[in-house]
């Protein structure tokens, strides 16, 4: 039954919500469950649902009044992973890692030295970047002063404001939130969806914002990098879209959190290989 639900559109969301509610009624789903199913899509849509949008549609479709507690229930501040939607994207699109490699504007990516990629991601010669061999061993300096980049695992996806900053417990650190500048990239770590779903999720998100880079975590997941914009609201909505499709919300909450360094090496010895790189999308 769920696989037959109408697919969410890029535009015309209000009409889709109404169509979804009618589909639930015809499928014998009770009204309260129908509201829950619609609200589960909040975060996987181009805009978030209005507080009572799902309940209003269900009341019209079912010709019934819902309990006030159901009507007043808002979607969570951040969406949860919509496993039904990511499974549908994978089923309908059948996109693979090989497809990402084949469509990458830059080719032969495995041969790229990490420094060459990072110089394009962080082009300011004197800009400070924080790079880590581990989550506890890291250094903040201009890119030219970092050595052994092939053996490094982590990087903060923003320029740092200063070499050191003060942590919440009053200690000095090269990787404190207080010395991390504005987010330069939205980085999505898709841990929850099955690995085979990741390429389709990334290609779907590219309908809303161009992909700068996709790379292997050196484990099972793919990470996708997208440019930030000058609009805080647009970036927030895009984050909701990503999180609803399985991106780790921790990276939204903490703009200084480390992400995988492109073509670096994970602690298990696996290469964090870049599979897609589009310099034209750089901010």
How do residues 94-132 score in pLDDT, each as one tens digit?
999 999 999 999 999 999 999 999 999 999 999 999 999
Q: How confident is the model at residue 69 (pLDDT cuts 50, 70, 90)?
A: confident
DSSP state of 139: E
39: tokens are 């609200």
To the nearest 10 degrees (0 to 180), the angle between helices 31-39 and 53-62 is: 150
The torsion angles phi and psi of 128, rounded to 5 degrees, stand at -90, 130
Q: What is the pLDDT of residues 137-174, one digit of tens each?
A: 999 999 999 999 999 999 999 999 999 999 878 889 99
Displacement of CA 99 from its chain's centroid (Å): 19
The pTM score is 0.78
For residue 134, with 0-12 CB atoms within 10 Å meaning exposed, 13-18 middle and 19 or more buried, which class applies?
A: exposed
Residue 259: which H helix or E strand, with range?
Answer: strand 259-260
Separation between Cα atoms, residue 71 and residue 268, nearest integer Å: 49
Range from 6-20, 129-143, 244-258 carrying the lowest mean pLDDT: 6-20
Position 169 scores a pLDDT of 83
CA-based torsion, 16, 33, 52, 233: positive or negative? negative
Average pLDDT over residues 47-72: 85
Q: How confident is the model at residue 4 (pLDDT cuts 50, 70, 90)?
A: low
Position 97 scores a pLDDT of 97
Cα angle: 89, vertex 95, 101; to 5 degrees: 145
Position 49 scores a pLDDT of 83
């Amino acid at each position: 039954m769920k696989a037959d639900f109408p697919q969410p559109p890029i535009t015309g969301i209000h009409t889709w919500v109404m169509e979804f509610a009618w589909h639930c009624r015809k499928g014998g789903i009770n009204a309260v469950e129908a509201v829950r199913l619609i609200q589960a899509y909040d975060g996987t849509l181009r805009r978030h649902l209005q507080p009572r949008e799902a309940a209003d549609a269900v009341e019209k479709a079912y010709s019934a009044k819902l309990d006030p507690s159901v009507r007043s229930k808002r979607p969570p501040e951040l969406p949860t992973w919509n496993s039904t939607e990511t499974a549908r994207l994978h089923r309908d699109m059948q996109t693979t890692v090989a497809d990402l490699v084949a469509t990458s504007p830059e080719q032969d990516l495995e041969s790229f030295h990490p420094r060459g990629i990072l110089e394009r991601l962080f082009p300011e010669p004197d800009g400070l970047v924080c790079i880590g061999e581990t989550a506890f061993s890291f250094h903040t300096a201009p890119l030219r002063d970092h050595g052994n980049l092939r053996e490094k695992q982590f990087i903060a996806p923003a320029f740092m404001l200063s070499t050191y900053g003060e942590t919440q417990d009053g200690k000095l650190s090269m990787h404190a939130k207080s010395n991390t500048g504005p987010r330069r990239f939205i980085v999505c770590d898709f841990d929850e969806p099955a690995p085979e779903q990741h390429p389709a999720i990334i290609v779907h998100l590219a309908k809303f914002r161009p992909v700068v880079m996709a790379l292997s975590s050196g484990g099972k997941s793919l990470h996708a990098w997208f440019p930030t914009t000058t609009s805080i609201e647009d970036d927030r909505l895009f984050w909701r879209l990503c999180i609803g499709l399985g991106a780790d919300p921790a990276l939204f909450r903490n703009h200084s959190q480390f992400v995988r360094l492109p073509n670096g090496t994970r602690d298990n010895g696996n290469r964090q290989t870049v599979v897609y790189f589009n310099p034209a999308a750089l901010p």
